[in-house]
Amino acid sequence: MADGAGHMNERIQQFTEFRQRMNTRILEHDNQVVRRFFALDTQCYKDGALEVKTKEMLGLVASLVLRCDDCVSYHVAQCRQAGVSRE
């Protein structure tokens, strides 16, 4: 079980590093549509009527339903950062 958790942690770390590199490349270009999407995403996941934890868990569920591996990895990482645990 610990090996599985270690593999998952490594996978999430690799994905996070890749995502950060790609976000940097994407944002280097002056594309207003992309910048607006990033801003919308940032605003949507802030604390508000729902806590960040709840919003990230909903994002994870939607990603699982859509079977988007990158989205799942992203939301698992965000859930962990927000303090979500398996319990």
What CATH code is carried by the domain that includes residue 26? Answer: 1.20.1290.10
List, for residues 72-85, the tens digit of each pLDDT value.
999 999 999 999 98
List, for residues 8-67, the tens digit of each pLDDT value.
788 888 888 998 999 899 889 889 998 899 899 889 999 999 999 999 999 999 999 999
In this structure, is residue 86 part of a structural domain? no
List, for residues 29-41, the tens digit of each pLDDT value.
889 998 899 899 8
Q: Report the predicted TM-score, pTM, of the whole model to 2 decimal places.
A: 0.75
In this structure, is residue 34 part of a structural domain? yes
In this structure, is residue 15 part of a structural domain? yes
| Number of structural domains in the chain | 1
In this structure, is residue 87 part of a structural domain? no
In this structure, is residue 71 part of a structural domain? yes
Question: CA nearest 83: which of 41, 37, 51?
Answer: 51
Question: CA nearest 76: which of 42, 34, 68?
Answer: 68
Confidence of residue 1 (pLDDT cuts 50, 70, 90): very low
- The CA distance from 17 to 37, in Å, is 20
In this structure, is residue 12 part of a structural domain? yes
In this structure, is residue 47 part of a structural domain? yes
In this structure, is residue 18 part of a structural domain? yes
Write out the residue range of the structural domain in which residue 65 sits: 2-81
